[in-house]
């Protein structure tokens, strides 16, 4: 930063250690396009396309740099053959349908020029219809399954992964992985929180439900025979597991001292405001399941579908491997004295240092070779 000025593009990139960024202004819509490639050690850089109105385009780039790095960790933690990437379409304001379609098609053409070094998918502000539009001009899109009966929403898979991760967390923290009678607080009953709460209720957990949309939370609580908790009362509510499934940064220096739970394990991205908050949780004896590991289920399922696996039971089997991954992270944490977040990072670094399983990095072309019809 120079003289109190907000950081510019070059300031953001000065210390960034990724592969690079493609920057382009889409003149018809005034959108800044950032395609961020962070790491391709394990396979092509892959991560969703975020469309958003940012205070300034530079904020969009900052978001993309952070999210692309997060994808590197997510894929490596699960040892999946993809690298970290993300794209951001920083629009100047809401776009009408025609302008949006034009932008998406030009974005797709830009992806072709990268020849498969980056693959995209839906993210905040884009959906599977947008992915279909992009797929009209480029093959580098995940989440367009080429078959109308394939599952199109990643959220139930994310919920299943979180459910499996909570089981691993219960085992680690309480020495017993039975859900029966466990008090589990689901914060945010949207696309992930709602199917998660359902799974938890089905196995006998006492489900507590909170959402900023109070009517939705009350209805869910009633449907599941659970208990409604006001969104303001989540921090401080007594429970065995707090499952953040709404927004990020709910774990921080102000909230952690007030938590009354044994485990934090949920779907939200970026749950810790600062990395050091993992240490604060540890000091309070609260087990933290690192967010990018426990919430990887949807991304895993969609890339498996892209690779040609469309059998739902098999997808579910692969997603529940999150439970074993967390088991080994918790074990390493216990043996080494590292926090679970540090142990997850150590695992990622080991896998990246080893390189792709089998020694050969994959490409989208190889994957489509085995792919869908």
Active site residues: 86
Please work out the total of residues on this chain that contact ligand NAD, with binding judged by CB under 6 A.
24
Residue (155 or 307) nearer to ligand NAD, CB: 155
Residue 338 CA to residue 69 CA, distance in Å, equals 22
Distance in Å, CB of 8 to ligand NAD, minimum? 28
Residue (47 or 193) nearer to ligand NAD, CB: 193
Contacts of 17 (CB under 8 A, 6+ apart): none
How does strand 31-39 pair with strand 20-26? antiparallel
Any contact of residue 213 with ligand NAD (CB under 6 A)? yes
Contacts of 298 (CB under 8 A, 6+ apart): 154, 155, 157, 158, 161
Lookup: tokens for 213: 């949309």
Tell me the per-residue interface mask from 238 to 277 with ligand NAD, x by CB under 6 A, - otherwise.
-------xxx-------------------xxx--------
Residue (123 or 342) nearer to ligand NAD, CB: 123
Distance in Å, CB of 338 to ligand NAD, minimum? 24
Distance in Å, CB of 301 to ligand NAD, minimum? 9
List the one residue from 211, 220, 323, 342 that touches ligand NAD (CB under 6 A). Answer: 211
Q: Which residues pair with 227 in a beta bridge?
A: 208
Distance in Å, CB of 47 to ligand NAD, minimum? 11
The DSSP element (H or E) to which 85 belongs, if any, is strand 83-90
Of residues 167-196, those binding ligand NAD (CB under 6 A): 187-193
Distance in Å, CB of 109 to ligand NAD, minimum? 27
Distance in Å, CB of 217 to ligand NAD, minimum? 8
Residue (33 or 209) nearer to ligand NAD, CB: 209
How does strand 45-46 pair with strand 83-90? parallel
What is the three-state SS of 333-368? HHHHCCCHHHHHHHHHHHHHHHCCHHHCCCCHHHHH
List the one residue from 44, 290, 298, 340 that touches ligand NAD (CB under 6 A). Answer: 298
Residue (245 or 287) nearer to ligand NAD, CB: 245
68 close to 101: Cβ distance less than 8 angstroms = no
Tell me the per-residue interface mask from 120 to 159 with ligand NAD, x by CB under 6 A, - otherwise.
----------------------------------xx--x-
| DSSP 8-state symbol, 213 | S
The residue with tokens 């000065």 is 14
245 close to 268: Cβ distance less than 8 angstroms = yes
Residue (209 or 329) nearer to ligand NAD, CB: 209
Q: How close are the terminal C-alpha atoms of the chain, in Å?
A: 50
246 close to 211: Cβ distance less than 8 angstroms = yes
Residue number, nearest CB to ligand NAD: 190
With H, G, I as helix, E, B as strand and everything else as coil, classify residue 19: coil
Lookup: tokens for 349: 């670094």
**Interaction site with ligand NAD (CB under 6 A):** 154-155, 158, 187-193, 210-213, 216, 231, 245-247, 267-269, 295, 298
């Amino acid at each position: 930063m120079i003289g109190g000025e907000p950081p510019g593009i070059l300031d953001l990139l000065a210390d960034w250690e990724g592969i690079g960024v493609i920057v382009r202004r889409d003149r018809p819509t005034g959108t800044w396009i950032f395609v961020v490639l962070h790491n391709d050690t394990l396979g092509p850089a892959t991560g969703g396309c975020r469309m958003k109105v940012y205070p300034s385009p530079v904020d969009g780039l900052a978001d993309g740099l952070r999210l692309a790095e997060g994808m590197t960790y997510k894929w490596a933690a699960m040892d999946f053959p993809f690298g970290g990437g993300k794209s951001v379409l920083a629009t100047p304001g809401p776009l009408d349908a025609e302008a949006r379609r034009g932008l998406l098609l030009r974005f797709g053409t830009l992806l072709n020029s990268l020849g498969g070094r980056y693959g995209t998918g839906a993210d905040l502000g884009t959906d599977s219809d947008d992915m279909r539009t992009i797929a009209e001009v480029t093959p580098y899109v995940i989440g367009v399954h080429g078959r109308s009966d394939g599952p199109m929403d990643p959220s139930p898979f994310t919920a299943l992964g979180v459910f499996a991760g909570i089981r691993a967390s219960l085992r680690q923290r309480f020495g017993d992985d039975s859900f029966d009678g466990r008090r589990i607080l689901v914060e945010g009953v949207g696309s992930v929180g709602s199917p998660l709460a359902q799974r938890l209720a089905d196995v006998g957990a006492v489900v507590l439900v909170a959402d900023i949309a109070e009517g939705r939370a009350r209805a869910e609580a009633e449907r599941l025979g659970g208990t409604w908790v006001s969104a303001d009362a989540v921090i401080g509510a007594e429970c065995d597991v707090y499952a953040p499934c709404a927004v990020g940064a709910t774990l921080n220096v102000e909230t952690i001292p007030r938590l009354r739970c044994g485990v934090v394990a949920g779907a939200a991205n970026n749950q810790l405001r600062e990395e050091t908050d993992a240490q604060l949780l540890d000091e309070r004896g609260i087990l933290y399941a690192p967010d990018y590991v426990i919430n990887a289920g949807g991304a895993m399922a969609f890339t498996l579908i892209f690779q040609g696996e469309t059998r739902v039971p098999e997808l579910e089997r692969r997603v529940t491997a999150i439970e074993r991954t967390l088991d080994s992270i918790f074990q390493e944490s216990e043996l080494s004295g590292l926090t679970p977040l540090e142990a997850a990072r150590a695992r990622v670094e080991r896998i990246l240092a080893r390189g792709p399983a089998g020694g050969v990095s994959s490409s989208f072309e190889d994957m489509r070779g085995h792919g869908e019809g």
